[in-house]
Structures are given as structure tokens and as C-alpha cells.
Amino acid sequence: MTEGGATVTPLRPKRPCPECGRPSTRDAYPFCSARCKDVDLGRWLTGAYAIPVREEDDEDGAPETDARDA
């Protein structure tokens, strides 16, 4: 596939699967298999990847004040 000495670079670099560490495949990128892809999807759907939220901040970012603090 090299014409005139030019090399073809892949569109996606080879990366390890984020679930098991094996090399990723083109069909399931960035995972190595449909199984690892489904495991990751299951974690998203159950909320395992949820970002924690701090409840003490108000909508404008200022901390809530209590009448007892005054």
C-alpha cells in the first residue's frame, strides 16, 4: 500500500481496551470485543460512572446560609 515511498497511517491509533487491557479491534473500537463494550454500557446504565454532586451549593454557586449562622 505504499506508493512512491509514502506510508499510510491508520486513522485510529492502536490503544488497549479500557476494560481488560487487550489490544482494541476495529469492530468494537475502543474495546477489544463486544463483551467489553457491553460491560462498559452496563456500567453507564446502572450509574456506576455518575459524577458526584455537592448538595450544599446553591444554583448561583454561592454556599447556602443558615439563619442560625447570623
Where are the domains positioned within the chain?
A: 14-48
Cell of 37: 463494550
> What cell numbers appear for 52 in the block?
458526584
Task: List residues forming the annotated binding site.
Answer: 17, 20, 32, 36
Mean pLDDT of 30-55: 91
| 56 grid coordinates | 450544599
Q: Higher pLDDT residue, 11 or 32?
A: 32
Range 11-26 average pLDDT? 88
Judge whether 43 and 49 are in contact, CB under 8 Å: yes
Q: What is the pLDDT of residue 63?
A: 60
Binding-site residue numbers for Zn(2+) are 17, 20, 32, 36
**Whether residue 2 has pLDDT greater than 60:** no
- Record the pTM: 0.55
pLDDT at residue 1 tops 60: no
CATH superfamily of 14-48: Erythroid Transcription Factor GATA-1, subunit A (3.30.50.10)
Mean pLDDT across 43-67: 75
The C-alpha cell at 33 is: 470485543
